[in-house]
């Protein structure tokens, strides 16, 4: 992932416009930043960190400039890997947002034809293909993946672009045309913007031309325009009042990205490592621990293996004795910086364990310490309450478990392909359902506004989801909530189930739990408790989207709970994105 912001102007323009655009796109990633502008030749400047920490990069004037802010998914976050990336001659500079799946084959064939590749990115194949005389339309057929790219060439006062699945918009200002990754970043630069259609390419020029072509080269006649109407205060949040809400709405897109971000060869390798393990542990904290708990069911049902889930804070004291050669530790941390995880990983390594890291941050300590790491590629998550990284971690662990199953011969390649298809079709239907889920969550949030406590109840694979829902209510809504196993409710906690005490029940998907579910529900009804049902039934107070397979039900069930926690926090006027006394990563 990354953010693109470019201009093409009739008269020279200050580079600070690119700085401003990239600052607004920082939410798309910010491990490094770079800009190319046309002078007599192409000038490229790059640095580590976000745009606003590198204002010096933008002290230039030019008629044509192209900037990028990066979230690394292929290739470590380094200055060399920062965009723009040049071809061998330095005459083409390219930026990209997204991933190219077939980049390894392309890189080796380019190298065998004598190209000098100096980064470890997938983006680098583009400048070299262009150097060989390929055009933007050829890129659409040569590259597989989900991406948008933009480039400038020396001696050509245009910014070229190719859109194959990642958003691009074009705004027309007084003297300039702008190309950007989202509408809000154009606020103040243009009043209206054209949405670049998927599977198209084109250019904006310093002389004021805007051209868009379909993959077959024919001009696109009908282009959709949208008004740029965002308030300056909400720019980084793409119009949402909080990052948490924005990140929940990004879940479907993030799930799709996770399937592209995880490379087949590393999934296979990790699957083989786990299959061959004498003993396997999953470690993590908080939300990542809950993801690990859900995945124990995946490893059992898809991979046919049992795996122990231990809090990374407890691991050194209670599990380390059983760690030795032949042990595999699957370490899960969205930030990759959580000290409990890093400490446990280092101790396990000293005892000869192999570490498979699952993280959202390439270049993090966990990625560095792991023998193999799997980047979940959910995109930057800025709200302290983790949401889209939870669901993307679930998909990453689901695919890993399926690869264990593949190695074990439990699952065929066709069944694995079906799993990928189900994840993609589910993420599309989740995107459609999100506004309706949000509306239902808002309504219930009004009822919970003054509640002090709640239970979140479920069993089986959705019990960890109940724990996660309770954690979100604590963090975002500052409402004391406890996750309880459905069967355990009758063994004590039921004492509070009366009157207005909210009991949020995620209906288990497992058929075997049906009898238990009806028994507990009739007891709750008899006590006239305030039950809020979460399930895919149309009768449910919080209707979850239909999951095409049981493994996806935890994701379907958690989205309504995340939205509920957000909406209660919103009703209460809380600082949802940064709850008091909490940090995004606990590194001490």
- Which residues bind to ligand F6R, rule: CB under 6 A? 285-288, 333-335, 338, 341, 384-386, 471, 475, 585-586
Q: Output 15 or 385, the one with its CB closest to ligand F6R.
A: 385
Q: What's 218's DSSP letter?
A: P
Minimal distance in Å, beta carbon 316 to ligand F6R?
A: 16
Q: What's 492's DSSP letter?
A: T
Q: What's 6's DSSP letter?
A: E
Q: Output 163 or 338, the one with its CB closest to ligand F6R.
A: 338
Residues near 354 by beta carbon (within 8 Å), at least 6 away in sequence = 273, 277, 327, 328, 329, 371, 372
Q: Output 438 or 475, the one with its CB closest to ligand F6R.
A: 475
Minimal distance in Å, beta carbon 402 to ligand F6R?
A: 22
The number of beta carbons lying within 10 Å of the beta carbon of residue 412 is 11
Minimal distance in Å, beta carbon 570 to ligand F6R?
A: 17
Cβ atoms of 118 and 89 within 8 Å: the answer is no
In degrees rounded to 5, what are phi and psi of residue 210?
-130, 120
* Token couple for 278: 């004498």
Q: Cα(259)–Cα(418) distance, rounded to whole angstroms?
A: 13
Cβ atoms of 470 and 443 within 8 Å: the answer is no
- Any alpha helices (H) in 75-171, and if so which ranges? 103-112, 125-131, 136-142
- Look at residues 478, 485, 282, 474 and name the one whose alpha carbon lies nearest to residue 396: 282
Minimal distance in Å, beta carbon 286 to ligand F6R?
A: 2
Cβ atoms of 533 and 407 within 8 Å: the answer is no
Q: Output 6 or 248, the one with its CB closest to ligand F6R.
A: 248
Tokens 């355990």, residue located = 488
Residues composing the chain: 588
Q: Cα(245)–Cα(234) distance, rounded to whole angstroms?
A: 12
Minimal distance in Å, beta carbon 368 to ligand F6R?
A: 15
Minimal distance in Å, beta carbon 35 to ligand F6R?
A: 31
- Look at residues 443, 188, 399, 433 and name the one whose alpha carbon lies nearest to residue 303: 399
Q: Output 398 or 471, the one with its CB closest to ligand F6R.
A: 471
- Sheet of 200-205: strand order equals 85-86, 92-100, 145-153, 156-164, 200-205, 210-214
Q: Output 252 or 385, the one with its CB closest to ligand F6R.
A: 385
Q: Output 270 or 311, the one with its CB closest to ligand F6R.
A: 311
Cβ atoms of 507 and 540 within 8 Å: the answer is yes
Minimal distance in Å, beta carbon 130 to ligand F6R?
A: 38
Q: Cα(565)–Cα(288) distance, rounded to whole angstroms?
A: 18
Cβ atoms of 1 and 97 within 8 Å: the answer is yes
Q: What is the dihedral of CA 189, 190, 195, 199, to 10 degrees?
A: -50
* Token couple for 224: 């959709």
Q: Output 161 or 390, the one with its CB closest to ligand F6R.
A: 390
Minimal distance in Å, beta carbon 29 to ligand F6R?
A: 17
- The burial of 48, by beta-carbon neighbours within 10 Å (0-12 exposed, 13-18 middle, 19 or more buried), is given as middle
Minimal distance in Å, beta carbon 53 to ligand F6R?
A: 22
Q: Output 119 or 285, the one with its CB closest to ligand F6R.
A: 285
Minimal distance in Å, beta carbon 230 to ligand F6R?
A: 27
Minimal distance in Å, beta carbon 17 to ligand F6R?
A: 35
Minimal distance in Å, beta carbon 348 to ligand F6R?
A: 16
Beta bridge partners of 410: none
Minimal distance in Å, beta carbon 246 to ligand F6R?
A: 15
Q: Cα(36)–Cα(468) distance, rounded to whole angstroms?
A: 44
Q: Output 235 or 398, the one with its CB closest to ligand F6R.
A: 398
Cβ atoms of 503 and 453 within 8 Å: the answer is no
Q: Output 149 or 466, the one with its CB closest to ligand F6R.
A: 466
- Look at residues 76, 93, 79 and name the one whose alpha carbon lies nearest to residue 38: 93
Q: Output 70 or 474, the one with its CB closest to ligand F6R.
A: 474
Minimal distance in Å, beta carbon 390 to ligand F6R?
A: 8
Q: Cα(430)–Cα(207) distance, rounded to whole angstroms?
A: 43
Q: Output 136 or 579, the one with its CB closest to ligand F6R.
A: 579
Q: Which uninterrupted H or E stretch holds 5?
A: strand 2-14
| Closest residue by beta carbon to ligand F6R | 286
Q: Output 19 or 332, the one with its CB closest to ligand F6R.
A: 332
Instruction: Supply the DSSP string of 528-557, one letter for each residue.
Output: T-EEEEEESSTTSSEEPPPPSSGGGHHHHH
Q: Cα(582)–Cα(570) distance, rounded to whole angstroms?
A: 18
């Amino acid at each position: 992932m990354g953010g693109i912001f470019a201009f093409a102007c009739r008269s020279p323009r200050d580079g600070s416009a690119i700085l401003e655009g990239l600052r607004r796109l920082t939410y798309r990633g910010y491990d490094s930043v770079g800009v190319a502008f046309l002078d007599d030749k192409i000038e490229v400047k790059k640095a580590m960190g976000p745009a606003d920490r590198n204002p010096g990069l933008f002290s230039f004037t030019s008629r044509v400039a192209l900037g990028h802010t990066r979230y690394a998914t292929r290739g470590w976050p380094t200055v060399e890997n920062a965009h723009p990336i040049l071809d061998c001659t330095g005459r083409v500079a390219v930026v990209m947002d997204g991933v190219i799946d077939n980049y390894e084959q392309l890189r080796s064939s380019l190298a065998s034809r004598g190209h000098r590749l100096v980064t470890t990115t997938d983006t680098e194949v583009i400048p070299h293909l262009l150097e060989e005389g390929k055009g933007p339309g050829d890129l659409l057929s040569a590259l597989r993946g989900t991406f948008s790219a933009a480039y400038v060439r020396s001696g050509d006062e245009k910014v070229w672009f190719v859109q194959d699945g990642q958003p691009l918009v074009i705004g027309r200002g007084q003297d300039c045309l702008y190309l950007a990754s989202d509408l809000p970043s154009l606020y103040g630069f243009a009043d209206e913007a054209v949405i670049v259609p998927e599977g198209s390419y084109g250019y904006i020029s310093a002389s004021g031309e805007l051209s868009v072509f379909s993959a077959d080269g024919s001009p696109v006649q009908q282009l959709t325009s949208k008004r740029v109407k965002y308030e300056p205060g909400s720019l980084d949040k793409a119009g949402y009042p909080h990052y948490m809400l924005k990140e929940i709405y990004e879940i479907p897109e993030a799930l799709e990205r996770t399937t592209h971000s995880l490379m087949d060869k590393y999934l296979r390798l990790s699957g083989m490592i786990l299959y061959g393990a004498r003993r396997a542990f999953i470690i993590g904290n908080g939300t990542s621990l809950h993801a690990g708990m859900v995945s124990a069911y995946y490893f059992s049902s898809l991979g046919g293996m049992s795996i122990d889930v231990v809090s990374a804070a407890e691991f050194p004291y209670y599990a380390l004795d059983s760690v030795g050669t032949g042990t595999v530790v699957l370490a899960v941390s969205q930030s990759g910086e959580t000290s409990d995880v890093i400490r446990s990983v280092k101790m396990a390594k000293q005892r000869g364990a192999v570490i498979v890291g699952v993280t959202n941050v390439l270049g993090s300590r966990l990625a560095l310490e792991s023998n193999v790491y799997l980047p979940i590629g959910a995109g930057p998550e800025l709200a302290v309450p983790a949401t889209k990284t939870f669901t993307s971690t679930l998909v990453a662990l689901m695919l890993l478990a399926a690869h264990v199953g593949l190695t074990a011969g439990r699952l065929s390649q066709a069944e694995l392909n079906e799993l990928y298809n189900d994840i993609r079709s589910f993420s599309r239907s989740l995107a459609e359902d999100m506004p309706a889920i949000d509306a239902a969550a808002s309504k219930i949030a009004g009822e919970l506004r003054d509640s002090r406590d709640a239970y979140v109840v479920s069993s089986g694979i959705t019990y960890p989801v109940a724990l996660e829902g309770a954690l979100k209510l604590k963090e975002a809504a500052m409402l004391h909530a406890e996750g309880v196993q459905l069967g355990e409710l009758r063994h004590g906690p039921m004492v509070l189930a009366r009157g207005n005490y909210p009991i949020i029940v995620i209906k288990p998907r497992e058929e075997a739990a049906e009898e238990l579910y009806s028994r507990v529900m009739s007891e709750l009804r008899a006590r006239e408790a305030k039950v809020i049902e979460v399930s895919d039934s149309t009768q449910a107070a919080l209707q979850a989207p239909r999951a095409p397979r049981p493994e996806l039900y935890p994701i379907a069930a958690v989205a309504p709970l995340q939205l509920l926690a957000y909406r209660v926090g919103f009703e209460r006027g809380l600082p949802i994105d940064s709850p008091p006394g909490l940090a995004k990563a606990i590194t001490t």
